[in-house]
Amino acid sequence: MQTLAIALGALILYLIAYHTYGKFLARKIFRLDPEATVPSVELRDDIDYVPTKKSIIFGHHFTSIAGTGPIVGPALAVIWGWVPALLWVLFGSILIGAVHDFGSLVVSMRNRGQTVGDIAGRVLAPRTRILFLSILFMALTIVLAIFGLVIAAVFKMYPAAIAPCLLQIPIALAIGIMIHRRGGNILLSSIIALGIMYLSVYFGDAGILGQINTTLSSWPVLTWVVVLLIYCYVASVLPVWTLLQPRDFINSLQLLSAIGLVVLGLIVAGIWGGAPIEGSRPDLEIIAPAFRMGENAPAGAPSIFPFLFITIACGAISGFHCLVSSGTSSKQLRCESDAQFVGYGSMLTEGFLAVLVILACVAGLGLGIKDAQGGIFSGESAYLSRYESWDGAKGLPAKIGAFVEGAANFLKALGLAPGFAIALMGVFVASFAATTLDTACRLQRYVIQELAATLYKNKPTASPKSGIALSANPLTWLTNRHGATIFAVILAFGVAASPGPKGPGSGGLNLWPLFGATNQLLGGLAFLVILFWMRRRNLPMWFIIIPAVFMLLLPGIAMSIELFKPAGWIAQGKLLLAFIGLATLALEVWMMIEALIAWPKAKGIIEDSLPALPAKTEPQEDGGRSC
């Protein structure tokens, strides 16, 4: 019953937080105004700026920010014990992560949907814009290079997930075109699509679907990387209503329904036990130690501070979320009052997912998993089979496998067939990874366009003395969406195709050790931007100062340890990691110095306004705006 009590307690805590702290931030701090003009209406172009119902934006936002982060992070972090992981997820997501996402969304929405990097140049100092965008560019390059490998790995582990994931694309295109051009009920259409996808999972090993799964599961990783990056290009340049919105909405229904099934299975297992093993139902209980530190620390594991926080990442706070908030979601909200539901609510939902991941790994595994010889591990031996040492737990297959098997045990307690339960969780993980991949590509396109526009603007087009025209600016092609997306895709492919530890297609793993600290650093820098935006408006800042300082110091400490410890990147001669790590630390220190210089001058001084928009010749529809 302890496992069940934790799950239900976490759900109640998140509901209370949303209706108290979240509502306080929305009404008293950010003062959301349902009548204010929002970027999706003011700049509507039906490509990136599209007024959209909050339920659809929630689906896009939640599936984009979640990815595999709240799965693989907590699934590894329980190696230090389940109590530290659970506490950081609960309180980190409520007091830090959700505030970060919500604040980024509001600040972007109040600045015509600009990214946090663009806003940094106006509220801090012009130089910080380039610094921030450079860090964003590096982080997104790593995401694009690595997530093809992640999805390919999931497909290799769970081939039955391939066809259901691929079916989402034509179904989403059909729904997007039908809803946009003919009108209709997206919820009804998506529920039908959801039913089709569940059927494809159920019959995934039979007939033509089984043949597709068998054939595609044999593809090399590099082939998957190429196919997925081509898909990313198409998804990034298409209007958001054609593919991004409907696909994410369908995915959100699929993922939320799967979470609902996991919770229901957890309740059944908590009351009546798991699926029968040798005629009896095993009790659901936490099989992992509460703490594994000091003398009891697992072999090879780094210190719990600061690496617990860096490891859990998205389950509590992620800097990547500020890119989604300010890169896509702020351009689609049809009124300010929807921001609490989308920004604060999505992060709490992700936090609850991370709680379920923890419980699946420290309790669900104990209901029984198979060993290599076909025998059954149960109880504490099941946990130790995955978490005896750091090297045994840190690989991607180990982390994903621990969650999938533990969560599938909850589903099997409902009476679902083992194959279907495993396949469903495989689709769950792959779908999260895919939505993060295509959103990251669109975000990288925005970053490249902003960087190119800045450099293009600063390059003279004629000699100041002679007036003779200079050669055309070579960056011009990067300022349009096709050129920027092509550059992003080619760069990601180049990184992925470089020699890696797991062969062609795994080159992104060379840079992956940087991602945790860089991701958390983005969160700290986003807090810095929000903090300055609020200081200039004399808004209360007490609730954000401590999280900002914590998220600026924490990744810097983690990066420094990895660089300078006796067996660190410098000592091991990992020159690429060391160079990028040192450069990242230098950029962080530079931004903090800029912030300290600007801080005394910022109080009560509103930054320069954005340029006036050209007059509209025709009234713009607001997409059925109703707040």
Which one is predicted more confidently, 609 or 486? 486
CA–CA distance, 524 with 543 (Å, rounded to integer): 14
pLDDT band at residue 459 using 50, 70 and 90 as cut-offs: low
Encode 53-80: b = buried (16+ Cβ within 10 Å), e = exposed. Answer: bbbbbbbbbbbbbbbbbbbbbbbbbbbb
CA–CA distance, 366 with 360 (Å, rounded to integer): 9
Local structure of 177: helix, strand or coil: helix
529-575: per-residue pLDDT in tens? 999 999 999 999 988 999 999 999 999 999 999 999 998 999 998 88
Residue 609 lies in a domain: no
Which range of residues forms the domain containing residue 528? 2-101+113-458+474-602
- Mean pLDDT for 143-154 is 84
Q: Does the CA dihedral 253-103-327-128 come out positive or negative?
A: negative
Residue 26 lies in a domain: yes
Residue 441 lies in a domain: yes
Encode 581-609: b = buried (16+ Cβ within 10 Å), e = exposed. Answer: bbebbebbeebbebbeebeeebeeeebee
Residue 31 lies in a domain: yes
321-335: per-residue pLDDT in tens? 998 999 889 999 999
The mean of the pLDDT values for the chain is 87
**CB neighbours of residue 19 within 10 Å:** 11
Residue 466 lies in a domain: no
- Mean pLDDT for 481-507 is 87
Single-letter amino acid code for the residue at 25: L
Question: Is the predicted pLDDT of residue 203 greater than 90, yes or no?
Answer: no
Residue 522 lies in a domain: yes
Residue 608 lies in a domain: no
For 318-373, the DSSP string reads -THHHHHHHHTGGGTBSSGGGHIIIIIHHHHHHHHHHHHHHHHHHTGGGG-EE-TT
pLDDT band at residue 160 using 50, 70 and 90 as cut-offs: confident
Residue 607 lies in a domain: no
Helical (H) or strand (E) element with 376: strand 376-377
Q: What are phi and psi of 396, to 5 degrees?
A: -60, -50
242-285: per-residue pLDDT in tens? 887 788 888 888 888 999 999 999 999 999 999 988 778 989 99
Q: Using CA atoms in the order 222, 224, 225, 231, what is the torsion angle rounded to 10 degrees?
A: 150
Which one is predicted more confidently, 482 or 453? 482
**Beta-bridge mates of residue 299:** 389
Q: What is the CATH number of the domain that holds 215?
A: 1.10.4160
pLDDT band at residue 471 using 50, 70 and 90 as cut-offs: very low
Q: How far is CA 201 from CA 206, 422, 624, in A?
A: 10, 10, 36
Predicted local distance difference test score (pLDDT) of residue 466: 40
Question: Is the predicted pLDDT of residue 463 greater than 60, yes or no?
Answer: no
| Count of structural domains, the chain | 1
- Lookup: tokens for 337: 């009052």
CA–CA distance, 544 with 534 (Å, rounded to integer): 10
Predicted local distance difference test score (pLDDT) of residue 156: 86
Q: Identify whether the C-beta of residue 133 lies closer than 8 Å to the C-beta of residue 212.
A: no
Give counts: helices (H), strands (E), the chain. 26, 2
122-139: per-residue pLDDT in tens? 998 888 888 888 888 888
pLDDT band at residue 474 using 50, 70 and 90 as cut-offs: low
Residue found under tokens 């990067």 = 478
